[in-house]
Structure 1
């Protein structure tokens, strides 16, 4: 089961006593800041949680799984996540 944005908002609301609207605005603002930073090519480090990194992928050969036809996949940027040591310890 996945933790949804609605559940995050509800948890923030319960933990802080904020109204649902303010908790939703807080979550939305945080996510927009992270998205815009990543779109600008900046890494996002959240101490004690982990680091979101933007990595460049080179053009490469690929294959259409439905037809088996070979094709060239374009260059692109992807987001990776590396968890912090503290988070890794808590998970394990």
Structure 2
């Protein structure tokens, strides 16, 4: 699903104009992104939680050559689905 797909779905279901729907999608993405960048967790009930996690420096290996290389410390984005979403996926339900 793309941003435009999401905006189109909002347009069809909510009745906002296409432009208003696109602005709404952008505003939500900006708000979620900003919170994650500030180091906050973003929890969307019945969907899941987005979290930022720090990874330490470590030694990795190039799978092609086998040569060891140092992987620098970095931050990664983690998504943990809620138990409700996991149940919906595992049971093949599409309630929304």
Q: Distance in 2 between the 1:68 and 1:32 partners?
A: 41
The size of the alignment, in residue pairs, is: 90
Deviation per CA, 1:5-30: give whole Å up to 9, x if none.
11111000000111111101110110
Partner of residue 23 from structure 2, selected from 25, 34, 42: 25
Show the 5 A alignment for 1:1-92. Answer: 3-65=1-63, 68-92=66-90
Task: Tell me the CA shift for residue 65 of structure 1.
Answer: 4.6
> More deviation in 53-62 or 69-78?
69-78
Q: TM-score, normalised by structure 1?
A: 0.88
Q: TM-score, normalised by structure 2?
A: 0.85
